Amino acid sequence: MYQPLVTVNLQLLTENARIERQQLAEAGVETVGVNKVFDGCTETARALMDAGIEIIAESRTYNLAKIRPLGCTTCLLRSPCPSEVDDVVRYADVSLNSEPEVIHALAAAAARQGVTHGILLMVDMGDLREGIWYEDEAQIVDTVRLILNQPNLSLYGLGTNFSCYGAVIPTVRNETAFLDLAHRVEQRLGITIRRLSAGNGTSYNLIDEGRWPKGLNQLRIGGVHQFGYDYVNLHYFNRFHHSAKPEARACSDLFHLRAEVIEASAKPTVPVGEQSVDAFMQVKHFVDHGTRRRVLLAWGRQDVPADCCTPVDDAMQILGQTSDHTLVDVEDCSRAFHPGDTIEFELDYTALLMAFQTSGVRREFIH
């Protein structure tokens, strides 16, 4: 049966991950390979492991269950729900936490299973998502003490996150503030915290520029090896495989969406008749460019949003999308298109995320 197809170049993904791991290691930073955009895909997780990355992170417990048999260290990125603590302990070696109530529940689950579970205690340095607020140092100390006093828990480290909700970028200043906070916790408790997990791929530019504060020794990264993109300064890193189109919005040549032409015709560029709203309750405005050639593709918003894709052929322009169809202007293309032809698109993060979430898109891996 027909389905639009997403191809993943595993060789290029591994090469990117190897470059990433090596550069981080030179800065004294351990890499946690984030696989969540692929929805627990074992092929992409294995590609990261082939690059020498030993810790694989997912944000869903059911996806950790998929990659557990690979033999890597597993990390749950999203803080556990109280209702899933038994599965968290079963499938994750480490989880990100901030709530004492959940930490107590994890300790009980670990005791029931006879294992030790690692806690990465999260500190919110200003991005306003998960973590104990950085100014509440007493609560941070008390929660660390709680973890240390649980026989079936271990303090994996302290962590923080940037850019995901509040769009607060990592800087030398706020990263150093996190480092100083960790040192004060160590002094107050007389301990050494083995890992300071200081953010995600948006911190990579500080390493690339040689401005990384020494002592922060872990990052949880996905977008760098997937897209080779600097999400702070909004450009591509030179050494990585990435989009063949410098002007593309954080797309990647590692991932292509291929869809089949089901109609090829020349039509006006302005609809004929009275207008209201489209299928998604949006008011549309059209500019008259005369009659132009266009194709209709068997791929719609139900599969992958077209505004997150870039045609491989620069002469094409995406006109719009309905639930099951995508319209593309091909007037300026050098070739004619016919039903049965296929057209390829590069994907950004959102498109890749949706492509791996939906059952309507087929996957193919290039080794």
Do the beta carbons of residue 151 and residue 198 sit within 8 Å?
no
pLDDT at 248: 79
pLDDT at 277: 84
| Token output for 270 | 């302005």
Q: Report the predicted TM-score, pTM, of the whole model to 2 decimal places.
A: 0.95
Q: Residue 9: beta bridge partners? A: 366
pLDDT (0 to 100) of residue 1: 95
Report the b/e string of 117-130 with b at 16+ CB within 10 A.
bbbbbbbbbebeeb
Residues in the chain predicted with pLDDT less than 50, given as ranges, are: none
Q: Are strands 291-297 and 326-329 parallel, antiparallel or unpaired?
A: antiparallel
Q: What is the pLDDT of residue 284?
A: 87
Strands 342-347 and 309-311: antiparallel
Position 299 scores a pLDDT of 97
pLDDT in tens, 105-162: 999 999 999 999 999 999 999 999 999 999 999 999 999 999 999 999 999 999 999 9
Residues 6 or more apart whose CB falls under 8 angstroms from that of 180 comprise none
Q: How far apart are CA 61 and CA 84, in angstroms?
A: 8
Q: Helix 137-148 crosses helix 172-189 at what angle (to 10 degrees)?
A: 50
Pick the CATH number of 252-366 from 3.30.70, 3.40.50, 2.40.30, 2.60.40: 2.40.30
**What's the confidence (pLDDT) of residue 349?**
96
Contact partners, residue 360, CB within 8 Å, separation at least 6:
3, 4, 302, 303
Q: What Cα–Cα distance (Å) separates residue 272 from each residue in 267, 286, 288, 318?
A: 11, 11, 11, 20
3-class DSSP assignment, residue 362: strand
Domain 10-236 has CATH 3.20.20.10: yes
Q: Which long-range contacts (CB under 8 A, 24 or more apart) does 141-145 make?
A: 141/185, 141/188, 141/189, 143/98, 143/100, 143/103, 144/185, 144/189, 144/191, 145/189
Q: Where are the domains of the chain?
A: 10-236, 252-366
DSSP 213: P
